[in-house]
């Protein structure tokens, strides 16, 4: 039909190819009666792929890229139970339009695990998270801190001479309260207790076993009041010159000193440390 311009009413049927020929933009349009485009399907010569545009309703271009990728200008919604199928590895990329860096989700080859990866535009991994096939809930560091972490400032017995990273020795030193605000809540004075060579005793707190004590107060060593008694088992002797009767030897009852320089129970030495932040 050698027609230039005009309007055709009714359906067009063809047994071969229907082509739009030319080196310019080749497009198919859906318009209103007034000619306003409601949708476009087009491709530029040498362009990145086939584009689908929503016309005057907006929303940007969907691009079926010549590399095989699909570009979506907005959100993809689906009510289907299975929206993406794959053989072997399946991947979804989220590419930053300015930097070219991207994050992707990729299944393992058996489809039973997921990799969560960030790469730069040179395809070098920045970080990788692996979620194997297992049941459970992923916890954040805040979750872990709230559930199982020991509060900052609690003295911990450590089996080495040096503390691990992030911990300080309980040696009586001052610490930077601005640098360690959580530690300052436990020790407002800004000074750690000196627990080198010391035992920790539970605060009496009204029990009246060790009354009058305050938290972090020091107590000197002591031994509970007690007395000793004994029976004399020594020999008897006459007075000098053989006069008089037999009598007991004069003695003051002293015994030889015994023991060490302190009173203590059996023990094992650990280094007391505290978490700094």
Q: Where are the domains of the chain?
A: 26-71, 79-141, 150-200+268-277
DSSP state of 194: B
**Mean pLDDT across 216-244:** 70
Query: Is pLDDT above 60 for 271?
Result: yes
Cα(122)–Cα(128) distance, integer angstroms? 16
**Mean pLDDT across 225-250:** 58
Sign of the torsion angle spanned by Cα atoms 163, 167, 170, 173? positive
Cα(119)–Cα(135) distance, integer angstroms? 27
What's residue 10's pLDDT?
79
Q: Is 80 exposed, middle or buried (0-12, 13-18, 19+ CB in 10 A)?
A: exposed
How, if at all, do strands 125-131 and 156-158 pair? Answer: unpaired
When mean pLDDT is compared across 16-20, 76-80, 248-252, the lowest value belongs to: 248-252
pLDDT tens digit string along 22-81? 888 888 889 888 889 899 899 888 888 899 999 888 888 999 998 888 888 887 777 777
Q: What is the dotted CATH code of the domain comprising 150-200+268-277?
A: 3.90.1340.10
Query: Is pLDDT above 90 for 167?
Result: yes
Most confidently predicted of 7-11, 54-58, 64-68, 208-212: 208-212
Query: Is pLDDT above 60 for 237?
Result: no
What's residue 228's pLDDT?
74
pLDDT tens digit string along 170-193? 999 999 999 999 999 999 999 999
DSSP state of 186: H
Answer with the residue of higher pLDDT: 9 or 105: 105
DSSP state of 71: E
What's residue 248's pLDDT?
47
DSSP state of 189: T
Sign of the torsion angle spanned by Cα atoms 257, 261, 263, 265? negative
What's residue 193's pLDDT?
96
Tokens read off for 212: 């009058």
What's residue 231's pLDDT?
62
pLDDT tens digit string along 86-95? 666 778 888 8
């Amino acid at each position: 039909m050698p027609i230039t311009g005009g309007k055709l009413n009714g359906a067009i049927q063809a047994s071969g190819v229907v082509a739009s020929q030319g080196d310019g933009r080749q497009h198919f349009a859906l318009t209103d009666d007034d000619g306003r485009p409601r949708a476009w399907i087009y491709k530029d010569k040498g362009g990145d792929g086939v584009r689908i545009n929503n016309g005057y309703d907006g929303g940007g271009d969907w691009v079926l890229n010549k590399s095989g990728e699909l570009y979506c200008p907005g959100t993809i919604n689906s009510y289907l139970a299975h929206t993406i199928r794959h053989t072997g590895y399946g991947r979804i990329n989220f590419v930053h339009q300015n930097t070219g860096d991207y994050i992707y989700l990729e299944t393992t080859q058996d489809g039973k695990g997921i990799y969560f990866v960030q790469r730069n535009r040179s395809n070098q991994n920045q970080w990788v998270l692996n979620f194997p096939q297992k049941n459970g809930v992923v916890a954040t560091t805040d979750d872990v801190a709230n559930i199982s972490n020991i509060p900052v400032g609690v003295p911990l017995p450590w089996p080495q001479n040096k503390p691990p990273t992030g911990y300080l020795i309980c040696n009586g030193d001052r610490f930077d309260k601005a640098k360690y605000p959580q530690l300052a809540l436990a020790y407002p004075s800004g000074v750690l207790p000196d627990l080198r060579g010391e035992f920790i005793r539970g605060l009496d707190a009204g029990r009246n076993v060790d009354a009058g004590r305050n938290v972090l107060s020091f107590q000197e060593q002591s031994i509970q009041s007690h007395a000793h008694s004994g029976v004399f088992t020594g020999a008897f002797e006459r007075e000098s010159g053989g006069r008089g009767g037999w009598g007991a030897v004069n003695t003051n009852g002293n015994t030889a000193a015994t023991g060490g320089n302190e009173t203590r129970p059996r023990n094992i030495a650990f280094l007391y440390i505290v978490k700094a932040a």
